[in-house]
Structure formats: C-alpha cells, structure tokens
Structure 1
Amino acid sequence: MGVALAVVAAAIGYRALDDREARPVAGGEEPAALTIEDLQRRADAAPDDSVAWQELGFARYERGEFAEAVTAYARATELDPDQAILWSALGEARVMASARDPLPVEALIAFEQALKIDPDDPRAGYFLAVKRDLAGDHEGAIADWLALLAKTPPGAPWESDLARTIEQVGKVNDIPTEARIKAAQEARGGTFAAAAPAPAPTLAAAQGIPGPSADQIAAARTMSPGQQREMAEGMVASLESKLKANPANVDGWAMLMRSRATLGQTDLARKALADALAANPGAAQRLRSEAEVLGIR
C-alpha cells in the first residue's frame, strides 16, 4: 500500500464499539479461559455451531488477526444469518482487514444487513455515519452519531469513545458539538459520562488526515505513487490551514504530527510540535506524549 493510501486509511479510529457484553458464550465457558488454538479446535469440531465461530472471530479480532476474524465471522453469519451483531462484527473485521479502502464495499454490505435486522444496531449505525464523514458530509455524520448517542445506555462500553468521536470531528471541521451532546444526554435521560481525554497512544495510533471524499478514495486506486502522495499532502495542507485558524485544537495538532510522520516529513512533524506547544502551553505534557509515541523529538 502506498504511503498516501496508508494515511487515507487512517482517517478515523474505528474501534468505537465493543460487543463483549452482548456476546453469547459457547458451552458456558468464558473465552478468556480458552486459547486461540482451543477456540479453533472447537469451531472445527462443531462446524455448524455459530456461537463457536463467533467466539473464534472475537478472539482473532482481539489479537489483531483481522483476516482470520473475517473468516470466522463470515461462517457465523452463514450459520445464523438473523443475528445483527454477527453482521456488524463481520463488517468491522472487514474494515480492519482492508489494506487500502477505509470502508470497503463488503463491510458496508455487512453493516447494511445488520441494520435490516436491527435498525438500532449501534456498531452498524456508527460505521455508516463514518461513511458519511469520509464522503465529506461531516455535519450529517455528526447528526447520526448524536442520534446514536441519544439511544446509548449510560455507561455503555462505547459511550465515551462515541462522544469523543463527535467532539473531535466537530473540532476538525469547525462544527460546534458541546450543546448538541448535552441535548443528546437530556434526550435519553440519565447521567452522561463525559468523554475522557483520549490517551496519547490511542489518539496517535488511531487518528490521521480527516475526511477524504469517496471520489478521492476511488481516484487514489488508479494513481501513481507520486500522485497518491500529492493527494495526501493536499489533505495535510488542508488540516494545517484549519489549525492556523484554530490553533487551540490540540487533537488537530496531534493528527498533523502523525500525518507528517507518516509521510516521512520528520522536520515538519517537529515544527508541528513546536507550533502546537507555542499555541497551547497548557497542553504541553499531552502534546509531548503524543510526539513521543510517534518518535518525534
């Protein structure tokens, strides 16, 4: 994969939803008590047991073995095609297994199937909002995420990550979200657990250049490496311009540092750190932690 496509594929952190609480457990055993080899043997020995394949898919995903997770979840959906959670898990695994496209068609098909079965499936709803964000409809994506937040039970595993996504996409695209997040809180009732600041390693690893359009993603597949890089540098320049207008956006500076580092522009990554520190002395520790994760000194 060309470096520019690597940057495009890192446009957003996707692991916002977690199905641990919703998963059935095969044979009454906790998955943590079983090794990958145990789970694989169990699935192979029970080829028609959808729960065994689901547990294997979950374990493969947790180990970062995304292609293998796709295989396991695909088998689970074949055996139990009426479970929305299996389709949305398959879609997420396909996203993570994709080397080029941040939202491959096969993943979208799985998410859409999940929503046909359960229109309230949170993971599928989240990713279809990601689709809108990648296509440049940032306002529409935020509206969808806010609707999802309004239906999210207080304390759900993905609650803080979802709120953080809304905040960060709003900051990068100059869309106010604070009052709207509060309204989502009031709409659902109960106490809202405010999004905790993202740990430095998570942000640096998961965020990159925001918002390539669907046309840009499609065009990148036919570009030469030089053209791909030119497209990526244009996205970085756009982010940098937004930071000049809003230098208090610490998340944006972290994204710029990562983008420069990904493009191999070490000196410019250091300059981004220096500019970020000058504009945000109160966030110096956070910014230096971000830089350290990226190897910027």
Structure 2
Amino acid sequence: MVVRCILIGLTAALLGAATPSAPAQAAFERGEKALAANKLDDAAAAYRKALEATPNWAPALNGLGSALFKKGQSVEAIALFKSATEADPELKLAWFNLGYAARKSGDYATAARAYERYTQLDPNDPDGFYGLGESLRQLGQSAPAIAAYETYIAKEKRPSEQKWVARAREQVASLRAPAGAPPAAATPAPVTSAASTLAPAPVAPATSNVGTLSPGGTPHSTLSITRVRDGDALMKERRYREATFAYLDATHADPGNVEALFKLGNALAVLGYYSQAVERWNRVAQLTPDATIRQSALDNVAKAQGRIAQQGGSPQAQGVAPGFGPLADTTRAQARRAYEQGVQRIHARDYAGALQSLTQTILLEPTLAVAYTARGSAYIGLRRFAEAAVDYDYALRLAPDSASPLYGLGESYRMLGRNAEARAYYQRYATSTAKDVRPELQAEARQNAERLR
C-alpha cells in the first residue's frame, strides 16, 4: 500500500468552496513548491499567506496541515484537515489526509469516518480501503474491516504494493479466526516512576477513550489522544510537571478518556498531589468496564490515601492544584509576567511574539484560563483559526463562567465557515452576564449572529 503521505500536492485540485484571490493563488503555489522540497517552515508560511488573502480556502488549509503534520504538530494538522473538509466537503485529498493523520495519532473513529468518505469520493483508489480496514480493525469492527481489506485486495494491482496485499490477507485471516485462536494481546505497560512507589497500574488502551461529556460538551478526541502521548514522553524524561499539564490537557479535551485520567493520577501522585490523584483514579473506577484496570485504580486510591494520612496538612495532601500551592509562588509570578508580556504583544500586533509568551505562560501555569483565551487571540491574529478554536474551548472548560472564550469561538468558527456554531457562540456572548463581558462586543456579537442566520 503506497503511503499516501500527507504531502500530496493539490495543484490539480483547486476547487474549494472559497474562490482564491490572485495573491492567495500565488502564495499557495509557493507553498506547494516548498512542501515538495521539504522546506516545511517556508511552506507553512506561504500557506498562511494564502489563507490571509483568502480565509477558509480548503486547499490552503489542507496544505498547511500537511506541512505541520510533517513537522510533528499533529494536533494542529488534524484540526486544519477537519477545517478543510468542512470548507469543501468534496476535497478528497483533505479527507485522505485527515484519515491518515488521525490513524497515525490513534484516533481510529475519526480515521474511519474520513477514509469512508474518501472511498466514496474516489472509489478507484485502493489506498483508502486499506486505511479504512486498518481503522475499523483497531475499532474492533471485524466484519466491515474484512470488507474494506477485501476491496483493497481486489483493487490493488500495482506490483510494488503486493506486500500490502499480503498484509491485508493476513489481517483478514486473523479477523476470521475462531475466537480465542490467536494469542491474547498483552496488557498495556504500566506507567511507573522512580519518584513513586504506588503499585504499577495498567492503563486503558487508546481505543477506549470515548466517554460521556457534561451537557453541551464536545470531545476533541484527537487532541486528547495526542496529549496523552505527549505526557508519556515527558514522564519518560522525568518532566513530571509538564507531563501533568499534558494529561490535564487530554482530560479536558475528552473527560471520558480513561487512559488520560489514569495517567494524570499517576503524574499527580509523583508530584505529591495525592488527593487530586485519588479523584482521577476514582473516576477511572467509575468509567472503565475493565475489572483489572478498576482494581488497579482502587489499589492506587488506597495507597494514596495512606500517603495523605502520613503527610497531614501539606499543600499536596490538601489537594492544592499544581502551580497554586505555596511552593509555586515564584512560578506563578513568572507565569503572570509572561502573560502580561503576551497581552502587550497582542496589543502591538506582534502575534508571533505573543504566541511564544503565552505558550510559556501555559507551561508555567497550565490551569490559567485567561492564558488560553489570550493565546486564542494570538492565533486569530495569525489567522490560525482552527488552533484558536481549540484554545478558546479549553479556556471555557477551565472557566465555564467566563464570556471572552465565547466571543473567541464565535470569531474562530465564523472564519472557518462553521456558521451555525459561530452564531450559537455569538448569541451566548450577547446574553452573558459574566464579569469579563464587554458591552461593545455584545453589540457586535448580536450583529454577527443576525448576519449568520
């Protein structure tokens, strides 16, 4: 199976919903050439220029996603691919890229939906059916996975790709084998640390991350899965505070992600925040259908409660959030200085500098909601609307009584062409009574909501 890398050019597929201006077309072509030459920073800059000239132009969104994916920025890339498919539902390469990127990130449900749409748009390309089969297999949907693999086998005639045909046949044989015939899959490796003596705890596999949300919530499953992987890497480097931030990110993106909750408990315990760890492990015990994982979570709860009894009145034992205890005052001061610098840079229209300052703020104080709101504004200034929407949504989760993220989401979704969602957020801002609401913006929000009807 040819790996239809994310770098497929779009020079021959410029029929997105938005009509590009001449400057956008020229910038896009520069981006295509830079991408083909693997000059990723140049490519990203050119695609952004194209989007500045023609916002929400699907080929440029897809091109920018391609450059960012190759740079390792999978969360941003997937958001851009989704935006491209929404801007032009007929842009088949955006659907393929979304499927490929989501599958590589472990979000098999999104991947399956994207590949399914791609195979509808281009039923003659065997690659889409292979990706669909892989995604469905990971979701445990054996019958449709077999059908997708068999379609791939029937369509794939290229001599260079016969090794993938052989692989597809192996997968079909495995899926058709009687239950219990293949060896059982290994239990995921436990997350442990030299800094923690809690019992090793198995974690839920990445495919079990779907859970319920609070009313009105929307899961960002791709972001959640990716941030779990980021946290895993940071734990290996013993960067425990930053790992906690990553796992917090994952649980805010998808509160039902059992793996993220379990690993967040582990990271909090390493830092000494046992009460918060207990809260996460108890949540795992409530959510998981796996008896082994539930028992491991409860075992860790018991050990953590023992630690709380030993430590008495320490900030950790009291459940004070990382970054807000007495030991973190210096860090908090650094975070606030970086935040103020970021806001100043936004006012000076130095959006790239603001992005840098506000990212540093978030690393120092990962639960500071206003930092996410401000970083969303920096992304808006850079015309990176999909990334802005992710930050505004996260800010709203951290501070549900605030109004500023509502306006930001309205702006982001309007620029992405997602008018119904934009209108809903504008209306919520227009009727908000939050302390941070601004009357002049409420008037604009009402006008924008009316125009989007």
Give the TM-score band, short-chain normalised. 0.3 to 0.5
Structure with max Cα Rg: 2
Structure showing greater relative contact order (alpha-carbon pairs closer than 8 Å, 6 or more residues apart): 1
- The normalised TM-score by structure 1 is 0.46
- The normalised TM-score by structure 2 is 0.32
